[in-house]
Amino acid sequence: MWFSLSKTTKIEKQKAKFLGIVLDNSLTWNSHVDHIVVRLSRVIYLLKRLMCCVTFEYVRTAYFAFFQSVLRYGLILWGNSRKINEIMVIQKKAIRVMAKVDNRTHCKPLFIKYRILTVINLYILDSVNYILAELPNLSVTNERHGYYTRTCTSLLLPQNRLAKTNNSHKYMSIKIYNKLSKNGSIKPDKLFKDNVHNFLLTNTFYSLEEFLEMPNINLKM
């Protein structure tokens, strides 16, 4: 199987599955997202059947076991995919099924009501957890500069030549972490994790841009 980053290289589309992750020879996540959409569609059918015979709490438990577990597998790698909106669409469909509402119902209040994170929120959460585990290996801006700035304790973003690298999980995770860390300070403790989780439970995002463009994020520390 040949891999290429070039859009002009004419190579027959190929894909392979490795540890549950679908890779294609263009090094995009399109094939993996397509694979997930098929799996999640089957789970929605299961949720519809369950709604007829068990309580909502059992259905919600089934959602976490069969739907969210699929969403979260390897999410930190493919969560910034250009096709993530397709996952968002099918997730909203699942929420509407569980809420027994029609296809025009606004879903953000439902995500908050049922304490379910969108795929974007899950990606943000997993990115933060990844950075917290990697903190000993990362640098902050005041290690490079000899003077104080407003973001002097923010993590340094890698300097990359390729735009594709700027969409890598490490680059995006640092960017997300810097957005959430209070006044740029590093808080690698359980309290910080809990506050990020609670923030995401009460602030529903349908795209990463929506999160990154949020003007003020105040985590209760």
pLDDT tens per residue, range 115-138 = 999 999 999 999 999 998 888 888
Please indicate, yes or no, if residue 158 is contained in any of the structural domains.
Answer: yes
Given 116, 138, 154, the domain boundary residue is 116
* Together in a domain, 109 and 42: yes
Which residue range is the domain that position 166 belongs to? 124-221
Closest by Cα among 98, 88, 106 to 56: 98
Please indicate, yes or no, if residue 7 is contained in any of the structural domains.
Answer: no
* Together in a domain, 23 and 112: yes
Task: Taking residues 15-40, report their average pLDDT.
Answer: 81
Q: What is the pLDDT at residue 93?
A: 97
**H or E segment to which residue 105 belongs:** none
CA angle 12, 18, 19 (to 5 degrees): 160
Given 116, 149, 180, the domain boundary residue is 116
Please indicate, yes or no, if residue 4 is contained in any of the structural domains.
Answer: no
Counting the structural domains of the chain, the total is 2
- Average model confidence (pLDDT) across the chain: 83
* Together in a domain, 148 and 212: yes
* Together in a domain, 137 and 96: no
Please indicate, yes or no, if residue 218 is contained in any of the structural domains.
Answer: yes
Instruction: Enumerate residues 6+ apart whose C-beta is below 8 A from 50.
Output: 58, 59, 62
Per-residue model confidence as pLDDT tens digits over 69-112:
999 999 999 999 889 999 999 999 999 999 999 999 999 999 99
Please indicate, yes or no, if residue 153 is contained in any of the structural domains.
Answer: yes
d(C-alpha 119, C-alpha 63), whole Å: 13
* Together in a domain, 20 and 84: yes
* Together in a domain, 142 and 209: yes
Please indicate, yes or no, if residue 199 is contained in any of the structural domains.
Answer: yes
* Together in a domain, 149 and 94: no
Q: What is the pLDDT at residue 152?
A: 46
Please indicate, yes or no, if residue 2 is contained in any of the structural domains.
Answer: no
Given 100, 116, 132, the domain boundary residue is 116
Global pTM reads 0.83
CB 73 within 8 A of CB 113: no
Please indicate, yes or no, if residue 6 is contained in any of the structural domains.
Answer: no
* Together in a domain, 144 and 66: no
* Together in a domain, 61 and 149: no
